[in-house]
Structure 1
Amino acid sequence: MQLNINQKFENIAVAVRQITKKVDQNNKGYYHLQVSIGLKSYDSKIWNDDEKIGEEIVPGCLAYISGIAKNFKGSIQLHISNIQRIFNPSQELLNSVIPTGFVNESDMIKEIEKLISTIKNPYIKTLLENVFNLPDVKKHFYKKAAGAEIHHAYQGGLAHHTIEVAKIVQNYCNIFTYIKYDVALAAALLHDIGKIYELSPFPENKYTTKGRLLGHITLGADLVSRAISEIKDFPNELKYELIHCILSHHGMLEMGSPVVPMTIEAIAVHNADKASAEINAFHLAIERDTGLDSWTEYNPTYKRSIKKT
C-alpha cells in the first residue's frame, strides 16, 4: 500500500517499528513513531501524550491507525489521529503488514537443495543435509530476516541472502578455479545460520537476548561444530576450514569477526557476503523510502543518499 500527500486514511493496519515519547518547543508531549506497511516505512506523529498510548503501543506490535499523510521536508509523514493496538492478529493480517521478500519459501527451499546437490565431498554434503534438516533450522531459516534493519530485513531475508552469497561464491569459483568449491559453497550456505537464534520472529524482528549476548557468528559456529561432531570420522582439517570461514565472514575484528579471513575460501565468502548485504541494503533503502524526489533520504549507515532507479 502506497500513501500519498494529503491522503486521509482510516483503520489501516501497520507494524509499529519504533515509538518514542517526546516534548515539543512549547513543552507539549507527543509521540514519534516509525510504522511500516510491507517494505514501506513511514515517519509518524501522534500529537498528544496520552499515557495509554505509550503503555499499549510497543515496538513489534500491530495497530490500526487513522489520520492524514502530510509532506514534511520532502517526505511523507503520517499524522495519526487515532491508534488502536491489534491483539492476536490473524496470520492473514500479519502477512498483509509485515515486510516480505522477493522469492517465495518453496522456491528458496528448492534452491538450497539444488545448491547442496552440487557438493561432491561426502562429509560436507552430509553436514549440509543434516543442518538443513534440524528442527530449528527447518522452522526458522526460511521465515526470519538476515538483519534487523539494514539488509534483507524482511520475512525470508535470511534464506534469500544465503542463496545470493552461495551463488556469488559459485561465480567466484568459476573465475578463480583454485578456490575449493565444496568448502567455499558449504561455508556460504552456513555462514549466517546462527541468525535463526539471533533475531526474533516477525513482526518484531529484533535482537534476542541470546543474540545480543553471543551473536550469530558464535551461535552459528557452535551449531555447525555440534553437527560435525555427530558425523563419524569427519576430518579435523575440513572442520577447521569450515568453522574458520564462519568465524571470519565479517572480514575484520572491528566488524565482529573473532578472526580475519586467512584462507582463500574465507576471503571469498567474506566478499560474497559483503556484496549481497550492501547491494540489498541499497535496494531496501530505495524500496522503503517515502521521499518525493529521485533520491532517498540520507542513509546514516552508508553516509550518503541513494539514487532511486
Structure 2
Amino acid sequence: MVFITDFNEGDMISNVYLCKNKQTGTTKSGKTYYNLELVDKTGSIAGKVWELTNAIGHFEAKNFIKIDGQVTSFNNELQLNIKKIRIADEGEYVEADYMPCTKKDIEQMYKDLMALVESLDKDYYKVLLKKFFAEDPAFVKEFKNHSAAKSIHHGYIGGLLEHSLAVAKMCDYYTTYYPVLNRDLLITAALLHDIGKVYEISKFPENDYTDAGQLLGHIVMGTMMIRDKINTIDNFPAKA
C-alpha cells in the first residue's frame, strides 16, 4: 500500500483508493473528463481522467477503485493523472487503510469520559450523562466512532469523542483556578455540546452533511436530544 501522504511528483502509482467524489466535466474543446477526489487514511488527492478510453471502467463515488497513473503537480499541489481505473476486487484492500482515525485509544478516551461523569457532585447531571454515555449503546457506538466535523477539525473516526473529552478536560482544569465556576455544569455542557453531530454528519466514508444536518444543524438537534433525555428524569431542575 502506497499512502497518499507519501506521494511525490513523478511517482507512478498502481494501487487501490477510495473514490470519495466523482464529477464529470467538459473541456473547452468539448471533451468529457472526470474530476475525482481519492482518499486513504492519510489524506486526499485530486484525480484527473482526461482520456475516457476503454481502460477507464465504470465506477461511482464511494467505490474502492484500482487506479494506474502518475503523480503530477498543478498550481503547487499534487494530483494524479489517471490512465486506468477498475472497481477493486474483494481482498485487494483493507477498509481500515482508507478511513482516517484518531491516533488516541478510543476505549481509553471513553473510560476517561466516564471517569469525569463519575466525578460530578450533582446526581441529576450524572443521571443525564449516563442516559447518553452508559444506557444508550447505539448512541455510544456512534459517538465513539464519529468525526467531529467534515473537514475543519477532528474530521476522523473517534474525532467527536476526542474533541468532546478535550473540551471537558479543559473546563475541568479551569475550575481548579476559578472555584466560582460551576464545575458540574461546565463538564456536562462540554460533553454534550456536540452530540448532535452524530446525526448532522454521516458516517465514513461519506463523512458529509446529512439532510437533517443541513436543515437543522447539530446545535438544534443536540438541544432536542438533551430535552428528550431530561424529560425522562424525575425532578430535573429547571435551573441547574
The answer to whether the superposition gives a TM-score over 0.5 is yes
The aligned runs of 1:94-109 (5 Å cut-off) are 94-109=95-110
User: Aligned partners of 1:188, 1:54: CA distance in 2, in Å?
Assistant: 48
User: Aligned partners of 1:6, 1:83: CA distance in 2, in Å?
Assistant: 19
Report deviation, 1:143: 0.8
Does the residue aligned with 1:230 lie in a helix, a strand or coil? coil
Report deviation, 1:24: 2.3
Match of 1:32 in 2: 35
Does the residue aligned with 2:144 lie in a helix, a strand or coil? coil
Aligned length: 234
Q: Deviations over 1:193-249 (max 9, x none)?
A: 1111111111111112222222111111111111111111111112xxxxxxxxxxx
Does the residue aligned with 2:145 lie in a helix, a strand or coil? coil
User: Aligned partners of 1:221, 1:144: CA distance in 2, in Å?
Assistant: 18
User: Aligned partners of 1:218, 1:27: CA distance in 2, in Å?
Assistant: 46
Match of 1:279 in 2: none
Q: Deviations over 1:146-167 (max 9, x none)?
A: 1112211111111111111112
1:23 counterpart = 2:26: yes
**Unaligned regions of 5+ residues in structure 2, if any?**
none
Does the residue aligned with 2:38 lie in a helix, a strand or coil? strand
Match of 2:116 in 1: 115
| Alignment partner of 2:9 out of 5, 8, 12 | 5
Q: Structure 1 residues 29, 131: closer, same or farther in 2, change over 3 A?
A: same
State whether residues 163 and 189 of structure 1, in contact with CA within 8 Å, keep that contact through their aligned partners in structure 2. yes
Report deviation, 1:49: 4.4
State whether residues 18 and 63 of structure 2, in contact with CA within 8 Å, keep that contact through their aligned partners in structure 1. yes
1:217 counterpart = 2:215: no
Q: Structure 1 residues 114, 61: closer, same or farther in 2, change over 3 A?
A: farther
**Unaligned regions of 5+ residues in structure 1, if any?**
239-309
Match of 1:131 in 2: 132
User: Aligned partners of 1:51, 1:155: CA distance in 2, in Å?
Assistant: 37
Report deviation, 1:177: 2.4
Q: Structure 1 residues 51, 31: closer, same or farther in 2, change over 3 A?
A: farther
The aligned runs of 1:102-181 (5 Å cut-off) are 102-133=103-134, 134-181=136-183
1:226 counterpart = 2:222: no
Q: Deviations over 1:127-155 (max 9, x none)?
A: 11111131331220011111112211111
Q: Structure 1 residues 53, 213: closer, same or farther in 2, change over 3 A?
A: farther
Match of 1:273 in 2: none
Percent of aligned positions that are identical: 31
Q: TM-score, normalised by structure 2?
A: 0.89
Report deviation, 1:52: 11
Match of 1:45 in 2: 48
Q: Which runs of 4+ in 1 moved over 4 A?
A: 49-55
User: Aligned partners of 2:54, 2:68: CA distance in 1, in Å?
Assistant: 19
State whether residues 47 and 79 of structure 2, in contact with CA within 8 Å, keep that contact through their aligned partners in structure 1. yes
User: Aligned partners of 1:54, 1:162: CA distance in 2, in Å?
Assistant: 43
Q: Structure 1 residues 27, 107: closer, same or farther in 2, change over 3 A?
A: same
Report deviation, 1:50: 6.8
Q: TM-score, normalised by structure 1?
A: 0.70
State whether residues 55 and 83 of structure 2, in contact with CA within 8 Å, keep that contact through their aligned partners in structure 1. no
Q: Structure 1 residues 104, 229: closer, same or farther in 2, change over 3 A?
A: same
State whether residues 201 and 213 of structure 2, in contact with CA within 8 Å, keep that contact through their aligned partners in structure 1. yes
State whether residues 15 and 98 of structure 1, in contact with CA within 8 Å, keep that contact through their aligned partners in structure 2. no
State whether residues 40 and 98 of structure 2, in contact with CA within 8 Å, keep that contact through their aligned partners in structure 1. yes
The aligned runs of 1:51-130 (5 Å cut-off) are 56-58=59-61, 60-86=62-88, 93-130=94-131
Q: CA RMSD in A?
A: 2.3
User: Aligned partners of 1:44, 1:75: CA distance in 2, in Å?
Assistant: 12
Report deviation, 1:72: 2.1
